[in-house]
Amino acid sequence: MLLKHLAVIAVLLVIPPVEPQAQVTAGHPSASPQSSSATPTAPPTATNPEVRTDCQSGPCDYQPPHITVATAAPAPAPWPLQDRIAWGANILLALLAYAGIMLAVSLLRKIERQTRYGEAAATAAAESAQAALLHAQAILHAERPWVLITVVPSPSIENGFNVIATNRGRGPARIVKTAQETRIAVDESRLPGIPEYSPEDPDIPPVQMILLPGEVTGIKSFCRDDVKGLCASEEALRRIENWEERIFLYGKVIYKDLMAAADEPAHETGWCCRYIHGRQKSGLVMSGTQEYNIHT
């Protein structure tokens, strides 16, 4: 495109400029530049009906019209070489400016395309990083320990039960704390909305144990003979036997992933059981609301 503009400039510099023609003003189509100028007389008035236009038999009262031709304009001076060079330089500068503008616009368009490509690449990289993070978190969750609470009958005590914690995860767990509580209430709705525990005895050291995947440890044991110890009177025992009130056992186990960093937050497993007092047999089943059976 730039070569085409330079070729046009070269052609314009070679062709000489067109000289303007002289302006001729004529009063009649048949006028010529060699006619002499004369002052025309006033036309005859319409009040004299005897005005004569025939001059062969006497003097004429009406003079024939004369044609005035304007003097031809002097020929313009030739176009100096300096003006031609200046004119060509201005054209060349204009073309160069146009070419520079077009190059700048093209460069800006390329920058815009590269910016869009960069934004798309950054978005794809962010999405890939997010997917990798989610995948890593899924692997960590799959490999972390999961401590679950179950109730099993006691092998040595009749109508006795054991609350046990089992590591169902793939990594070892370190139990750092346990809490237990026993309450008598009509049903689950009469329990506190959030589990409440008695103040800890400072003389009792915190529990510290490690559960490998598949290992089990006892949390609490309860049997039929423990009911009388919970009831303060025979009337309270009678209400338990008639199912007017029920015994609830609940607690929590706080543990950490043994393979995780020291500043990683601890996990918590809550549990709640309801004791069923029969005439001859007893039972202990999982119960309670979601606040009593949390898993983090």
Going by their DSSP bridges, the two strands 246-257 and 173-185 should be labelled as antiparallel
CA angle, residues 40, 41, 47, in degrees to nearest 5: 145
Please identify which residue in the block is written with the tokens 């500068």: 93
User: 147-292: which CATH topology?
Assistant: Immunoglobulin-like (2.60.40)
Contact 210, 294 (CB under 8 A): no
Query: Shortest CA distance to 164 belongs to which of 94, 225, 221?
Result: 221
CA dist 33 and 4 (Å) reads: 47
What per-residue confidence (pLDDT) applies to 268? 93
Our CA dihedral for 132, 133, 136, 138, rounded to 10 degrees, sits at -110
The CA–CA distances, whole Å, from 29 to 21, 33, 66, 104, 153 equal 19, 12, 12, 60, 137
Closest to 250 measured CA to CA, from 177, 173, 211, 192 = 192
DSSP 8-state symbol, 59: -
- Cα–Cα dist 64/167, whole Å: 136
Within its chain, how far is the Cα of 238 from the centroid? 66
10-residue mean pLDDT series, the chain (296 residues):
56 51 42 41 47 52 63 74 84 87 89 88 90 82 87 89 92 90 88 86 72 90 87 86 90 88 87 88 88 90
For residues 147 and 93, give the distance between their C-alpha atoms in angstroms, rounded to a whole number.
83
Query: Are 201 and 179 contacting, i.e. CB atoms less than 8 angstroms apart?
Result: no
Q: Which of 266, 285, 287 is nearest to 276 (CA)?
A: 285
Contact 229, 160 (CB under 8 A): no
CA pair distance 107, 130, nearest whole angstrom: 34
Confidence (pLDDT) at 45 = 46
β-bridge mates for residue 153, sequence order: 161
Domain boundaries defined on the chain: 79-142, 147-292
CB 207 within 8 A of CB 176: yes
